């Protein structure tokens, strides 16, 4: 017997090659996991004999729940004025050096209470839910001192526990050098390592990230952070090669990083290193679009070397105030020339790999979590095609069904 059984489904499993489509499929769920998926006519008994709770999907398309594997979801304040400045020709680097950018969000976030941050983040999470998202990564990095970073990670934990989402909590203390450490970046790296130790002891950290860039942290400083993470048994990932080639991708690969993210300026040597290490390339079309970048990430090289490509919203207040993973599917295709299948794989199976969750979710397969999105579309390629629509009928997280509207 199943706990629930879905029939009359077009299942895009995202397992193996292509979309992995099974027409006229049935999906059985037991104990929060997929216990059967296949053509409905291969069920061992009629649906009513196998399950009390049988749902007719009405021919809708089912995909794995979308996975937003790179977000900065917890923060306070707005940076709309910086968007206006960039339109007037001021560069991201100049804004950052003038005390704007990350520093302005840090000030607003430090001043906000935990409850205020939770309420703001919950609204953002709701938008991701409406776009079929079941798993989200949440970075810290807008606190840059122990109490504020702790506050952000506590909010991420509450999102996981109270909103019933699958949430990965990433410590990004090395996001920028805070004002109190101005011109003392090496000392701040010491503080980051100390914060990491304490936050890990409080069980608030799942993974560790850093911003390795000419306006961020050097490869030597990043190495120290990764060494500390390694000593604590924490997986790492890296903001790398967004504005210049700092050889961060090679460093990430050296430490077996789950992912290297952005990567517009990565070299072929960096791509080769990622391929050898099994590190996922997380591409962020929202930031590329908002910063009006001209240098494209080398998608052809990633294909050539077999580097898995994930995509994500990179939701943040400064360079990607985007809360629509479905829009990222379209942008990945139109801006980066990914195929619709590559784009959807980038928000499902490859995004799961970028979080180290590929044994848990990311495809519709027996034994994996029953994380599913149900769509009012005819074919999974339709998700990448249209802009401005929200075709998600509802999502399932670990077997629990959440309709977009009351049924």
According to CATH, what is the number of the domain 4-64+364-403? 2.30.40.10
CB 16 within 8 A of CB 363: no
pLDDT value for 82: 86
The per-residue DSSP string of 329-376 comes to HHHHHHHH---HHHHHHHTTHHHHHHTT-TTTSSS--TTSB--EEEES
Same fold, 4-64+364-403 and 66-354: no
pLDDT at residue 47, as a whole number = 78
pLDDT value of position 309 = 98
Question: CA torsion, points 220, 222, 227, 230, in degrees to nearest 10?
Answer: -150
Are the beta carbons of 73 and 124 closer than 8 angstroms?
yes
What's the pLDDT band for 406 if we cut at 50, 70, 90?
very low
407 pLDDT more than 80:
no
In 3D space, the residue among 337, 335, 336, 345 whose CA is nearest the CA of residue 383 turns out to be 345
**What are the domain boundaries of the chain?**
4-64+364-403, 66-354
Q: What pLDDT, in 10s, does the model give residues 344-375?
A: 999 999 999 999 999 999 999 999 999 999 99
Confidence of residue 48 (pLDDT cuts 50, 70, 90): confident
**pLDDT tens for residues 82-128?**
888 888 988 877 887 777 788 889 999 999 999 999 999 999 999 99
Give me the pLDDT at residue 405, please: 65
Over 90: is that where the pLDDT of 45 sits?
A: no
Q: Tens digit of pLDDT for each residue in 163-198? A: 888 999 999 999 999 999 999 999 999 999 999 999
Place of tokens 């149900």: 374
CATH code assigned to 66-354? 3.20.20.140
- pLDDT for 49 equals 86
Report the pLDDT averaged over residues 193-222: 97
């Amino acid at each position: 017997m199943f706990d629930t059984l879905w029939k009359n489904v077009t299942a895009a499993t995202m397992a193996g090659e292509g979309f992995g489509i099974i027409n006229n499929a049935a999906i059985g769920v037991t104990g929060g996991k997929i216990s059967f998926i296949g053509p409905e006519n291969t069920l061992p008994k009629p649906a009513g004999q196998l399950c009390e709770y049988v749902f007719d999907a009405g021919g809708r398309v089912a995909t794995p729940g979308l996975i937003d594997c790179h977000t900065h979801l917890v923060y306070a304040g707005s940076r709309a004025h910086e968007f206006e400045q960039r339109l007037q020709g001021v560069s991201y680097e100049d804004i950052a050096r003038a005390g704007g950018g990350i520093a302005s969000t840090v000030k607003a976030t430090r001043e906000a209470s935990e409850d205020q941050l939770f309420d703001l983040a919950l609204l953002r999470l709701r938008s991701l839910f409406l776009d079929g998202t079941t798993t989200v990564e949440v970075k810290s990095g807008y606190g840059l001192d122990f109490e504020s970073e702790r506050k952000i990670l506590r909010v991420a934990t509450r999102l996981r526990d109270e909103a019933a989402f699958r949430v990965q909590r990433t410590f990004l203390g090395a996001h920028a050098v805070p004002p109190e450490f101005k011109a003392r970046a090496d000392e701040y790296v010491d503080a980051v390592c100390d914060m990491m130790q304490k936050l890990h002891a409080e069980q608030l950290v799942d993974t560790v990230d850093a911003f390795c860039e000419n306006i961020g942290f050097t490869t030597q400083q990043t190495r120290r952070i990764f060494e500390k993470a390694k000593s604590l048994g924490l997986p790492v990932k890296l903001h790398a090669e967004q504005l210049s080639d700092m050889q961060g991708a090679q460093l990430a690969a050296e430490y077996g990083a789950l992912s290297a993210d952005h990567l517009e300026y990565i070299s072929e040597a960096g791509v080769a290193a990622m391929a050898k290490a099994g590190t996922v390339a997380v591409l962020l079309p929202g930031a590329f679009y908002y910063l009006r970048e001209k240098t494209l990430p080398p998608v052809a090289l990633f294909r050539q070397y077999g580097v898995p490509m994930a995509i994500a919203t990179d939701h943040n207040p400064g360079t990607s105030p985007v809360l629509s993973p479905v829009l990222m599917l379209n942008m990945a295709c139109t801006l980066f020339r990914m195929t619709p299948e590559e784009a959807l794989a980038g928000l499902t199976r490859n995004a799961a790999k970028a979080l180290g969750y590929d044994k848990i979710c990311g495809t519709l397969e027996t034994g994996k979590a029953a994380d599913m999105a149900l769509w009012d579309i005819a074919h999974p390629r339709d998700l990448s095609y249209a802009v401005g629509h929200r075709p998600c009928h509802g999502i399932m997280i670990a077997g629990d069904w959440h309709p977009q509207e009351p049924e």
